[in-house]
Each structure stands twice: as C-alpha cells, then as structure tokens.
Structure 1
Amino acid sequence: MARDRKPVKSKGGRPSREQAAEINGRILSAATTLFLKRGVDGTSLEAIAAAAQIGKPTLYARYPDKSALFAAVIRAQVDAAMPPITGVAETATPAARLRQVGRAVIEGAMKPVPLGLMRLYIAEAPRHGALIREVDRLGRQAALEAIAGALAGAGGADAIDRAHVVAAHFLDMVFVPHQMRALLGDVPDEADPLHPTLDARIETAIAAFKTMHLLPAE
C-alpha cells in the first residue's frame, strides 16, 4: 500500500499551498504516465496513488473518481502543450510572425506526450464526449489566441479581427491535417502531396492568405 510522503506541515497541521500543489502535480504526472501506458480503463486509482507516492485517502480527497482525474489531466495538458511565445519581433512581417508562431504552436502539439494524449482522447470520446469536445475547444482557442496575438502585434481592432481570421484558417489548413497525419504515424514526405512537410504546409497557407489579401504581399 502506498504511503504519503511526509511533507513539512504548515502551522495549522495541513500542507501549505505550495506543498498541496506539489502533491497535485505528482498525482497528475503519475496519472498522465499510466493513462498513456495502460489506457484509462486499464489504470486504477490505486495504481495512480502508488505511482504518486501518496495514500488513497489523499487521492480521493482531490479526485473522487477516475473520470474527475482524467478531466484534470487533459485540462492540465492543454496548458502544458502550449509553448511560451517569445522573441517575436514587432518589425517582422506578418508572414514571418505567422511562420514563427505557427510552427512553435504545432511543434508543441506534436511532442510525444500531447500526441499520445490526443490518441487517448479520441479513444475515450464515446464515453467522455462532452469533456473531449470542451478540451478540443479550449486547445483550439489557446492556439488561435497565440497565433492571432503574434500576428496582430500592437495593431488596433481591425488588425486583431483580421489576425483571428488568419489564425483560424491557419489551424484548419496547417495544424489539423498535420496533426492527423502524425496521429496515424505517417512521416512527412516532400514528394507526397498528401503529407508534405510542416514548412511546406505553412508556405502553402501563407501563399493562399496573400492571394486572399489576408496577409500583405512582401
């Protein structure tokens, strides 16, 4: 049986806020690893408690059932999968900013853990449909805001509106098909028009946006 680590307690006898956050982080990390390895059905709360080195009462006090813990895992991963957007030069052209930020967002989602969790979400959709749809919406919104924010820069309302349109099209034209091929384990091939490289997808999208006058010609 797993035993709780013995964190230094606060004066009131309970773990401090920082200690509680550390325990919760261990729970989510253990749950993520086991869900990816065994699937949701194949993972017990007892196994998660043991992997997190906590007692079952500690786990149940935070997550009364596996569905609640699964929901917490996927919400946490939405935030973790979104890379910090830094180093975007205001003097760069909109196309250059789109290349930089769009690539960063997609590459963050293509890492092993986010990609593995996406496969798990798809498998769990029949039983957790509402939750999976919510997470998909949250993830898409986070990606859209990151890309649109970089595109708009310090522009006004018109620039922001246009940036959101471009970002939404970018997700549909580049992110979604690239992610789908990755989920299937299909390696990009410059000679394969059905699965070009990420850079090729981005350049095709940028050319289309310029044709539609959504991005200025350089």
Structure 2
Amino acid sequence: MSSGITSAKKPPKRKGGRPLLSEVIKIDARILVAATALFLENGVDGTTFEAIASKAKVSKPTLYARYSSKSELFEAMIRSNVASAMPSVTDLPNGLSTEETLRLVGQKMIEEATKPIPLGLMRLYITESSRHGTLIREVDYIGREAAVAMISKALEPTLNYEADHHARLIAEKFIDIAFIPYLMRRLLGDTESSLNLRIDEAILCLKALGLLN
C-alpha cells in the first residue's frame, strides 16, 4: 500500500568510462601547474614523470596518456605559461596622454614579466635552448608579439594619425629600450636597477625619435 509520500530520486551514480570535460580540464591544469613548479625547482633533467604525477595527484598512466615524453610536457608547459603571461589593461583611467598611457601599461607589463615565476621560466628557457631551440625562439616571438599588441591596443585611442602603425612603433621601441635591458639585469640577479629610471630613459629616447611629440 502506498504511503502517499514520494521520495526524491537521487541522481544516478556515474559509472566507469570517459571523464567529464570539466574533470579533464582540471586534471590538465594540475599537471601543468605541477610540471611548472618541479621544472623550476629541479630543472627538466632533475624532474621525473613520477614526481609530476605525484604532485599533480594523478596516476602515471593518466600522465603518459597526455604526454609521451618530458619534452612534450615541457613544450605544453611553456605554451600554457606564455598564453597567460600578459596582464589586463582594461582598467586604465580615461583622458590619459600617450606618454602617461605608455608609462602605466609599460610598467605593469614589466612588473608582471619580472615576478619570480616568469623570471624562473625565462632562466629555464635559456637552460633548455640547446635542446628546444626552435620552440624557445617561437615562444620568444609569441611573447614579444603579445607584449607589442597589448601596449599598442592601449596607445591607439591616444593617437590620431595612423594610430595602429604609430602605436606599434612606440611599443616595439619601448620594449627594446626599456623592457629587454631591465629584464636582462633582473635575469642576472640585479635587484637594484630602477624600473622608473629605465622607463624615463625610454620616454626620452622615444621623444628624441619624434614618436611621442
């Protein structure tokens, strides 16, 4: 005899089979985070798949199903970090001049690029350049183009004549004059170099070239 009470049906338990897409994404992210940390700490040669699997909390078969070698995982790790390296520039105040915009965006970009993890990755890239030279050159190009695009996008609204071309010229020169020399000093362990001074010098050079007049 029915009691008149209908019990809520519980969702059926998932049986074995292919994992959900959300689970796959989480596993992939854990693997790349673990690989980044261990590669930075121990180098590529000093890191084993066993250690990466353990740190990522996945089985070795799961790891090997995604990456057949450390070189393949190293490449995926580099691409993942390059893709997420550029800071957002959507919060700039209104009414800034070209120079003011360049100072803000340039400083933000350089500060992000010289934090401990990006610096460590750059040192790792240099160490691995003999084995992954083509990849390192490709990543360097991708990173530079991303930086140029980020700065150019911020500068274009402040320019009138040939804004896209003009903004790209400014961005490229700023990277060559301010970013790369400062980055090299930091890679060599120099923590005393003044970023503001380097940016001031770049601004003066850009004005001398007629790009900020």
Per the normalisation by structure 1, the TM-score is 0.87
Residue 90 of structure 2: aligned partner: 86
Query: Per-residue CA shift, 1:44-88, capped at 9, x if unaligned?
Result: 111101111111111111111111100011111112221111222
Bigger mean CA deviation after superposition, 93-102 or 196-205: 196-205
Aligned length: 201
Residue 99 of structure 1: aligned partner: 103
2:194 counterpart letter in structure 1: T
Q: In the aligned structure 2, how far is the partner of 1:10 from the partner of 1:142?
A: 42
Change beyond 3 A, Cα 1:50–1:91: same
Bigger mean CA deviation after superposition, 207-216 or 149-158: 149-158
Residue 70 of structure 1: aligned partner: 74
| Counterpart mapping for 1:22-171 below 5 A | 22-153=26-157, 158-171=162-175
Q: Which runs of 4+ in 1 moved over 4 A?
A: 9-12, 154-157
Residue 5 of structure 1: aligned partner: none
Residue 192 of structure 1: aligned partner: none
Change beyond 3 A, Cα 1:14–1:198: same
Q: In the aligned structure 2, how far is the partner of 1:173 from the partner of 1:44?
A: 40
Segments of structure 2 that go 5 or more residues without pairing to the other structure are 1-12
Segments of structure 1 that go 5 or more residues without pairing to the other structure are 1-8, 189-195
Q: In the aligned structure 2, how far is the partner of 1:128 from the partner of 1:107?
A: 27
| Aligned-pair Cα RMSD in Å | 1.8
2:210 counterpart letter in structure 1: H
Residue 6 of structure 1: aligned partner: none
Give the greater-gyration-radius structure (CA): 2
Q: What percentage of aligned pairs have identical amino acids?
A: 51
Residue 193 of structure 1: aligned partner: none
